[in-house]
């Protein structure tokens, strides 16, 4: 993967043209009410820029997994309503179950410069997730084959009609501000990091992060491993891990990574102590009896659920001298206040460091925001799966389809 130099909304002329914009409005709804509008707010700068430049803006997005059927509970109607409020201008909602239907065509034809409309959930159409040509062409025809802007980083690792297919049938394809920011930080920071470059990986499964670990071993100066995936690495060192989460099939792989790191002179930091309990908390935020033991002293009938105090200090110290830090995945069961201390300690260390701090979406983004450290980070990625694939060094289809400058 190399540095990205993609056309952005700053490089295109949209006055009087119809512009199809793929956003990520996949927001959580409860009884038809949006419970977290972060993704909608994040899309506003791109939308406002295109409106101000006199574009005729046609927004589209998916929500959830309707699997090619019009499911009313996954309609984007509440998003159109909230967008209208946030923009101070009516966003016309084209309620077509077939996405590009009579309502959409009429609304698009009626658009004036600076107007905005929103299409129905793109995944109401079965072709969307299969990148079927028919829907891609219909979407392109809606914007007169003029301009496509992809601002949905959260869906950039999917080759769907509205993220990739449509780009083949328009004159110009660019990235929005959100996507541009992801390229700048996640793409270029990992590719050409200011050193020392420290990466922190957590979360439950080693299997999910295998390729990430391998890619980062070639790039990072220090690799910190916490969360559930750390126990497979501890097992690879010959430690007993009790009833902790363990991917027995991957112990050999972890051994190989530890020796590779040694060869390359990359430091791998693993927990030196763990917070243990006799069972996973149920419900997840229930109070349980916990104690802290050395990482090589976990009793057979206990499981590790967070990193201990010494590990927190060790990890925080490693971050202090860093110039670039990328963090993906919590250090423990952060949904439980007793088991969130490791994740809090890492978030605090990142909040205090002078380094460029990049949080790779998903659970670590949720943890940072929930714990109130969001404003202290340089960049919080909007994509979970997409940011992981980015860290693996993969070329994401939703970015590849955009024109270079």
Active-site residue set: 39, 205, 362, 385
Nearest 5 degrees, angle CA 60-CA 65-CA 71?
80
Cβ–Cβ < 8 Å for 278, 299: no
Lookup: tokens for 46? 């791109």
Strand 324-328 and strand 197-201: the pairing is: parallel
Report the alpha-carbon distance of residue 239 to residue 245 in Å, rounded: 13
CA dist., res. 24 & res. 336, Å (int)? 29
Among the residues of 242-287, which ranges form H helices? 251-264
Sheet holding 116-119, edge to edge: 91-94, 116-119, 56-60, 18-22, 147-150, 172-175
C-alpha span between 201 and 229 (Å, rounded): 9
Q: Which residue has the tokens 């659920």?
A: 305
Instruction: Print the SS3 string covering 278-290.
Output: CCCCCCCCCCCCC
- Return all residues near 222 (Cβ < 8 A) that are at least 6 apart: 196, 197, 198, 199, 266, 267, 268, 269, 318, 322
Q: Are 250 and 206 in contact (CB under 8 A)?
A: yes
DSSP state of 179: H
């Amino acid at each position: 993967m190399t540095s990205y130099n993609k056309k952005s909304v700053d490089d295109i002329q949209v006055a009087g043209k119809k512009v199809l914009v793929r956003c990520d409005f996949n927001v959580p709804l409860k009884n038809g009410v949006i419970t977290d509008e972060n993704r909608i707010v994040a899309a506003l700068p791109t939308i406002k820029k295109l409106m101000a430049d006199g574009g005729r803006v046609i927004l589209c997005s998916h929500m959830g997994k309707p699997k090619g059927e019009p499911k009313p509970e996954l309609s984007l109607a509440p998003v159109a309503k909230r967008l209208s409020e946030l923009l101070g201008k009516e966003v016309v909602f084209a309620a077509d179950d077939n996405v590009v239907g009579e309502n959409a065509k009429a609304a698009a034809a009626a658009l004036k410069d600076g107007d905005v409309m929103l299409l129905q959930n793109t995944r109401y159409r079965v072709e969307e997730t299969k990148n079927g040509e028919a829907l891609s062409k219909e979407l392109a025809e809606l914007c007169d084959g003029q301009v496509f802007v992809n601002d949905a980083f959260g869906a950039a690792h999917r080759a769907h009609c509205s993220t990739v297919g449509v780009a083949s049938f328009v004159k110009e394809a660019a990235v929005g501000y959100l996507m541009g920011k992801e390229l700048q930080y996640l793409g270029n920071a990992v590719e050409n990091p200011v050193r020392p470059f420290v990466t922190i990986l957590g979360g439950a499964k080693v299997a999910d992060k295998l390729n990430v670990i391998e890619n980062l071993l070639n790039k990072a100066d220090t690799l910190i491993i916490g969360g559930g995936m750390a126990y497979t690495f501890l097992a690879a060192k010959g430690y007993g891990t009790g009833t902790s989460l363990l991917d027995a099939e991957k112990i050999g792989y972890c051994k190989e990574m530890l020796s590779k790191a040694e060869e390359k002179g990359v430091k791998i930091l693993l927990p030196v102590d763990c917070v243990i309990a006799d069972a996973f908390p149920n419900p997840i935020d229930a109070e349980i009896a916990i104690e802290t033991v050395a990482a090589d002293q976990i009793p057979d009938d206990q499981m590790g659920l967070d990193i201990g105090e010494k590990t927190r200090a060790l990890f925080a110290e490693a971050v202090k001298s860093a110039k670039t830090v990328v963090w993906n995945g919590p250090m423990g069961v952060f949904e439980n206040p007793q088991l969130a201390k490791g994740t809090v300690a890492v978030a605090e260390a990142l909040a205090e460091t002078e380094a460029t701090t990049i949080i790779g979406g998903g659970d670590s983004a949720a943890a940072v925001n929930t714990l109130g450290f969001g404003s202290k980070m340089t960049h919080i990625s909007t994509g979970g799966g997409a940011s992981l694939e980015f860290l693996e060094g993969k070329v994401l289809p939703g970015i590849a389809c955009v024109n270079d400058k």
